Amino acid sequence: MTAIALTIAGSDSGGGAGIQADLKTFSALGTYGASVLTAVTAQNTRAVTAAHMLPPELVAAQMRAVFDDLDVRAVKIGMLGTPEVIRAVADGLRGRDLPVVLDPVMVAKSGDRLLAADAVAAIRSDLIPLASVLTPNLPEAAALLDSDPAPDLETRREQGRALLALGPRWVLMKGGHADGPVCTDLLIGPQERELTAPRIMTRNTHGTGCTLSAAIAAGLAQGQDMPQAVGRAHDYLHRAIVAADRLRVGSGHGPVHHFHAWWDAP
């Protein structure tokens, strides 16, 4: 059977994050990608200049169309934007026995906000309990806990366990926003694991969160267990960041190189 993963997220017209990054990641890792669009953004490597949220009814209709026909094996959730869209997505997932990767997207790499302030509570109450794994960066974890970003690894571990108490089966605390020569992600759940990699000095990190969560979903769709899927996704993203400067896309925060194993930019 073909492994199929579904991304529910917003569109990035610059192609480096959102739906576009998710579909590239699925393809790079041998998974067929389906998509449900939640928002259209006018976006490049420098800024998000406009955004339009799709009606929750249309988001729900896209989900029904995909699930009615495709044998989806895993779902990745990214930009949702509003409480109404969050509830529509949650309603469409309830009762489905599928692994769900929830990336609580709040702010773009450019600093532009992608989630309404009143939507954080809806993510907490409606979506986190449905998640197989929650993948926040340090500011997102702090926002979900109404706390300050974790200043050290032990506080990160404590915040991860606090998020676990909200209902997901696993939490992956991403360390990209921390300081130091080594980047450490913490996988917290039935097992605990540290995933480390040398920090790469590059400005081309647009779409890293989307890419990581999509890579986890690809692994889960292929039947990997959570530690396997997270481990492969972590390694894939590290290689994509290492190769990012070869792309030379845009003049701001450029994208990672999703297809680093197959082609180079001219």
Indicate which residues carry an active-site annotation: 174, 205, 207-210
3-class DSSP state of 162 = helix
Cα-Cα-Cα-Cα torsion 197, 74, 31, 192, nearest 10 degrees, comes to 20
Q: Which DSSP state fits 111?
A: S
- The CA distance from 201 to 262, in Å, is 23
CB atoms within 10 A of CB 259: 14
- The set of residues, in sequence order, having a beta carbon less than 8 Å from that of 162 and lying 6+ positions away, is 145
For the chain, strand residue ranges (E) read 4-12, 32-43, 48-53, 74-77, 100-102, 133-134, 170-173, 182-188, 192-198
Q: Tokens standing for 100? A: 């769900």
Q: How many CA atoms lie within 13 A of 130 on its CB side?
A: 26
